[in-house]
Amino acid sequence: MTKKWWHDKVAYQIYPKSFYDSNGDGIGDIPGIISKLDYLKDLGVDILWLSPCYQSPLVDQGYDISDYYRIDPRFGTMEDMEELIAQAKKRGMSILMDLVVNHCSDEHEWFQKACEDPDGKYGKFFYLRDKKEGELPTNWRSYFGGPVWEDLPCTSKQYLHVFHRKQPDLNWENPEVREEVYKNMNWWLEKGLGGFRVDAIVNIKKALPFHDYPADREDGLCSINAMLAEAKGIGEFLGEMRDRTFKKYDAFSVGEVFNEKPGEIPDYIGENGYFSSIFDFNETIFGGSEKGWYDSVPITPDDYKNCCFESQAKIGDTGFLSNIIENHDEPRGVSRYIPQGDCCVESKKMLAALNFMLRGLPFIYQGQELGMENVPISSIDEVDDISARDEYKVALEAGLSPEEALKVIARFSRDNARTPMQWSAGKNAGFTTGTPWLKVNPNYTSINAKAQMADPDSVMNFYKKLIALRKDPLYRETIVYGALEPVWQERHNLMAYYRKGEYTLLVVGNYQREEQEITLPQGYQKVLLNNYHDINEDSGCIRLHGYQVLILEI
């Protein structure tokens, strides 16, 4: 495998709106990020992915872009962005922006022009169909609920949006659209970006000609996945994108891809893959249902383990997965992957180590390093996330009571990850001096960065140790490139694996509150990390404490 500059890095995702507010308007901003660069440097992360901060109506919190060449004034200015790139570089860090090009905002100039002249140049930037009374062009359901078709204002046409109606899909079959996208990407890369996280990219290739699929809910509509499963040839677009943009800059790119077929992995992330890496969503997708969030099955520790190992086996040494515990679309990982009632400092550290030591590139989502948890909600009116609001309706329509539906939303709402970063025990968790745009999780008085910095046993300091271990010159090669081999996979509530390279490391986590025994006939050389202060052992037999995790050199 050819070595790449990003292989041994650690990445960190920033959700700008909720990271740090520098001017008291309640909204996190780029100057706020700049002021926290030293915090991030101290944590040890190298690559910073920023969720979108381009000009946007913020209907989907920035994933609806109305100008790809502008920073939204709420987040700052272009000068701020340039300053951020420069300040990051000074500290040996690189910035990734979010590339959202499956769709733009309906407030983008292209869409405005398409409304003015649907048969002209910009009409061809979108998927438009003639409107027929009482009939939609297809029966597809948008990701955020309802049909994907909406009337094109002041015309006799309708346009396609697989996400929100304010996110019209761009027509990637049109070479002019692709040119515009590449031009913009190169413009940003010229500014010194490290690369891009590539949003919702699996959606850019549609199965043509459009047709209906069997309905999968009472609403008579079908999931977009039915259409995507039939769409062939996305590789042509992605290969072109790679050659015209990333490749020229040796940029890092990570794709939001979750429906690749096993045989296609080398195309995606092999030597000359479309992307540097793709996210592993196996655990986040687990238990999901086409019916909606209300119908999903909770994940158990054994499921979690099997999901991780399945992904690892699938990728092998073909390339690099990007491993996540959570992101801005998911609930907090500690609230999801740790059995209810057991979420504590030890179990949070265990989850961190088990995920972080997997083969691939570790991504930390803001606040994950503090063990931030899901936020309690008492009414649907408190919820901002458009996806959660739709899923609430879906749950009610399926017959759940408002209380039950609210419980579902509390479990899955994307707001869980979007509450303001908890910097201190001060007012608004130290996030803003004004009124935060989204409610702060009330647990900030006990879970916050300031307190954790001062506590050697905090979750944050454990993350620092994990990051330092990945960078330790002695073990780096093994952790970055070493093979992953599951151990004792069939054992209940135990997740263990070897990382084998120049050294052999054993990562083992007791995924339950009860103690559990393991035997190491050959013993071990050294303890590299332990979330407890002791190891209870007796002649080759280790009695692991509840949620104890160990990283041992064998």
Which residues of the chain form contacts with ligand TEU (CB under 6 A)?
A: 60, 63, 100, 143, 163, 199-200, 256, 328-329, 387, 414
- Select which of 199, 280, 373, 391 is catalytic: 199
- Report the partner that residue 163 touches, choosing among Ca ion, ligand TEU, none (CB closer than 5 to 8 A by kind): ligand TEU
Q: What b/e sequence results for 10-19 when a residue is b if at least 16 CB atoms lie within 10 Å of its CB, and e otherwise?
A: bbbbbbbbbb
Beta bridge partners of 50: 14, 97
Question: How many angstroms separate the CA atoms of 168 and 125, rounded?
Answer: 10
Question: How many angstroms separate the CA atoms of 104 and 493, rounded?
Answer: 44
Q: According to the binding rule CB under 5 A, does residue 98 interact with Ca ion?
A: no
- Residue 109 near residue 207 (C-beta atoms within 8 A): no
DSSP state at residue 51: P
Closest approach of Ca ion to the CB of residue 74, in Å: 7
Closest CB to Ca ion among residues 8, 25:
25
- Report the partner that residue 25 touches, choosing among Ca ion, ligand TEU, none (CB closer than 5 to 8 A by kind): Ca ion
Q: Cβ-closest residue to ligand TEU? A: 63
Closest approach of ligand TEU to the CB of residue 133, in Å: 30
Q: According to the binding rule CB under 5 A, does residue 87 interact with Ca ion?
A: no
Question: How many angstroms separate the CA atoms of 336 and 105, rounded?
Answer: 32
Closest approach of Ca ion to the CB of residue 437, in Å: 9
Q: According to the binding rule CB under 5 A, does residue 346 interact with Ca ion?
A: no
Q: Cβ-closest residue to Ca ion? A: 29
Closest CB to Ca ion among residues 74, 178:
74
3-state secondary structure of 397: helix
Residue spans of alpha helices (H) in 44-104? 78-90
- Joined together, the tokens standing for residue 122 give 């910009």
- Report the partner that residue 199 touches, choosing among ligand TEU, Ca ion, none (CB closer than 5 to 8 A by kind): ligand TEU
Closest CB to ligand TEU among residues 1, 285:
285
- Tell me which amino acid residue 403 is: E
Question: How many angstroms separate the CA atoms of 336 and 353, rounded?
Answer: 16
Q: Find the helix or strand (DSSP H, E) in which 254 lies.
A: strand 252-255
Closest CB to ligand TEU among residues 138, 387:
387
3-state secondary structure of 101: coil
Pairing of strands 47-50, 11-14: parallel
- Report the partner that residue 373 touches, choosing among Ca ion, ligand TEU, none (CB closer than 5 to 8 A by kind): none
Q: What are the C-alpha distances in Å from 454 to residues 20, 352, 458, 461?
A: 20, 20, 8, 9
Residue spans of alpha helices (H) in 137-221? 175-190
Q: What are the C-alpha distances in Å from 114 to residues 102, 108, 121, 178, 429?
A: 17, 10, 8, 17, 45
Closest CB to Ca ion among residues 22, 548:
22
Q: Which of residues 6-35 bind Ca ion (CB under 5 A)?
A: 21, 23, 25, 27, 29
Closest approach of ligand TEU to the CB of residue 75, in Å: 16
Question: How many angstroms separate the CA atoms of 49 and 67, rounded?
Answer: 19
- Report the partner that residue 60 touches, choosing among Ca ion, ligand TEU, none (CB closer than 5 to 8 A by kind): ligand TEU
Closest approach of ligand TEU to the CB of residue 467, in Å: 24
Q: According to the binding rule CB under 5 A, does residue 77 interact with Ca ion?
A: no
- Tell me which amino acid residue 144 is: F
- Joined together, the tokens standing for residue 78 give 């272009």
Residue spans of alpha helices (H) in 44-121? 78-90, 109-116
Closest approach of ligand TEU to the CB of residue 148, in Å: 13
* Annotated catalytic residue 72: no
Q: Which residues touch 261 (CB under 8 Å, ≥6 apart)?
A: none
- Report the partner that residue 23 touches, choosing among ligand TEU, Ca ion, none (CB closer than 5 to 8 A by kind): Ca ion
Closest approach of ligand TEU to the CB of residue 202, in Å: 8
- Report the partner that residue 169 touches, choosing among ligand TEU, Ca ion, none (CB closer than 5 to 8 A by kind): none
Q: According to the binding rule CB under 5 A, does residue 72 interact with Ca ion?
A: no
- Select which of 256, 280, 326, 390 is catalytic: 256
Closest approach of Ca ion to the CB of residue 75, in Å: 8
Q: According to the binding rule CB under 5 A, does residue 80 interact with Ca ion?
A: no
DSSP state at residue 27: S
Closest CB to Ca ion among residues 318, 433:
433
- Report the partner that residue 312 touches, choosing among ligand TEU, Ca ion, none (CB closer than 5 to 8 A by kind): none
Question: How many angstroms separate the CA atoms of 349 and 545, rounded?
Answer: 13
3-state secondary structure of 492: coil
Closest CB to ligand TEU among residues 164, 465:
164
Closest CB to ligand TEU among residues 204, 459:
204
Residue with tokens 């079959």: 173
- Report the partner that residue 63 touches, choosing among ligand TEU, Ca ion, none (CB closer than 5 to 8 A by kind): ligand TEU
- Report the partner that residue 100 touches, choosing among Ca ion, ligand TEU, none (CB closer than 5 to 8 A by kind): ligand TEU
Q: Find the helix or strand (DSSP H, E) in which 47 lies.
A: strand 47-50
* Annotated catalytic residue 79: no
Closest CB to Ca ion among residues 272, 435:
435
Closest CB to ligand TEU among residues 22, 323:
323
Give the residue among 221, 215, 181 at the shortest CA–CA distance from 201: 181
Give the residue among 411, 124, 381, 130 at the shortest CA–CA distance from 296: 411
Closest approach of ligand TEU to the CB of residue 418, in Å: 10
Closest approach of ligand TEU to the CB of residue 436, in Å: 20
Which backbone phi and psi does 35 adopt, to 5 degrees? Answer: -70, -15
Whether a cis peptide bond, with omega within 30° of 0, leads into 209 is yes
- Which positions are annotated as active-site residues? 199, 256
Contact residues for Ca ion (CB under 5 A)? 21, 23, 25, 27, 29
